[in-house]
Copies of this chain bind each other. A is one copy, B any other.
Amino acid sequence: MTLTGHSFLGSKRAPDTSQTFHVSNPATGEQLEPAFHSASKEDLVKAISLASSAFPAYSSISPETRAAFLRTIAENIDTLGSEITPRMMAETGLPEGRCQGERGRTVGQLRMFADLIEEGSWVDARIEIAQPDRAPIPKPDLRSMRRPLGPVAVFCASNFPLAFSVAGGDTASALAAGCPVIVRAHAAHAGTAEIVASAIQAAVGECDMPEGTFSMIYDADIDLGTALVKNPGIKAVGFTGSRAGGRALMDAAAARPEPIPVFAEMSSVNPIFILPGAMAERGETIAQGLVGSVTLGAGQFCTCPGLVFAGVSENFETTLKNGFSEVAAATMLHAGIHQNYTKSLTELQSQPGVETIEQVDSSKGNNAGATILKASASTFIANPALNEEIFGPSSLVIECGSKEDMLAAATQLEGQLTATVHGTDEELAQAGDLLQTLEQKAGRLIINSFPTGVEVNSSMVHGGPYPATSDGASTSVGTGAILRYTRPVSWQDFPESMLPDELKISNPRNISRLINGSPEC
């Protein structure tokens, strides 16, 4: 398809505007065509108005029809695969295999949510049966289930140009819930965004969805995104990106006359704790695994382990040093990320007590040199700057000579997406205090493995206390992500015929429910 660079306002494309931008190939610096037109404020208002108009109809469509819509989006994306991959590679510097793999995850997520809403039990249907002769007052008929919130604003992630962008997890879960979506495209992969948006727009038409079910706006700047969050028509926000960006949206949403929920996945250093027995038994193997986990995708994953707490053996450090030295410098997603990586790393290296174990040369273009550093436990505990996420292929090893050091360090941590412990069976059985401390800090606890590689299923919690996410009770990955864009509603004394199918006594959708507080089955 020929890219035009215009925002999607329902079934129409926005007109030319005076503010345009180009995407650059991060590997070559080459400027890619076409020019993309930042949406105007009028375009934004139009998109939101379309979404608001679409909501009553879209939220009432049967789950089967919505599931078919999600599957059509997935099919359309697969059909456009041969166009997506080259553009995505040019825009992101990511290798072909990753682009294809991420497309697989993206369509997989859409199909997972289609299956979820077709099965239907996720709505948490509850029925309390009336007792007209209860004393002293009759018990009314009361039934509840989750319903969609309204139009959702989705901010695309730079590090998942497909799986957490235009048709990514936020969009898929919001559409599955019954919420129209307005996507704010990421300017660094605007062309990939246009192809995917066209796949969604085509599905809207093919499946006869209300026009405003999907829109996507381009913006070179951040103003329009803030205006989107502040607009009274928007009822929730999904965001994956930096802590500063996420916090700005949280603050804007909290300051609205009608505050709305922001589900921002922002910042995590994903600490790894290596207990002494595991270090002695298999320090080398753990070090090899760590090199792979830190440098996977040039470290551009939310779950990249940025802090390692261990009583470091010589073997472990040597393996790390050698492993990092062999990591090929990799192109980062865009110049901004590369600049931030270089700057943050230099700042960390300038902190007192921080030593560099190994740093790969990264003098060329937007290449990131993998870097492994170390510091003492007392240095870490005294300096909050060592707690900060560096987005890229680097990790900081904190020398923890004792269990007390580890516990003190764990207590010091901010909220995290993940926390990992390596230990022998015996050690782990004795590590209850460490694991309990980490449970208070993280959304996902991992034993003897690595945090990168995020399963997309019913048990995944990709969330965690602030600043990992804005709302530690949410997950942005897995089936639980749909809950973010819904709220429970009760119906009291409604005639059977006027209730949603999920709440009819006859249970026509055959879902699992609570009846008078107990599972029906």
Contacts and interface: CB of A to CB of B under 8 A. Distances in A.
Interface centre among A143, A436, A440 (most CB of B within 10 A): A440
Interface string A461-492: 10101110011110100011000001111111
Contact of A127 (B140, B443, B459): B459
Contacts of A121: 519
A165 interface: no
B447 A142 contact: no
A490 B444 contact: yes
B488 A473 contact: yes
B487 A472 contact: yes
Nearest to A251: B254
Contacts of A518: 119
A455 interface: yes
Q: Give this chain's copy count.
A: 2
A512 interface: yes
Interface residues of A, number: 82
Contacts of A56: 433, 436-437, 440
Contact of A453 (B137, B150, B480): B137
A261 interface: yes
A517 interface: yes
Interface string A110-134: 0000001001010000111000000
A473 B487 contact: yes
Contact of A144 (B128, B461, B495, B521): B461
Contacts of A127: 459
A418 to B, nearest CB: 8
Given A497-B429, A519-B512, A488 B149 contact: no
A259 B263 CA distance: 13
Interface centre among A437, A447, A459 (most CB of B within 10 A): A459
A459 B490 contact: yes
Contacts of A516: 457-458
A439 interface: yes
Contacts of A381: none
A460 B142 contact: yes
A460 B144 contact: yes
Contacts of A142: 455, 457, 459-460
Contacts of A68: none
Contact of A495 (B149, B428, B486): B428
Contacts of A147: 439
8 contacts: A56-B437, A128-B457, A444-B490, A447-B494, A447-B498, A461-B490, A512-B521, A521-B521
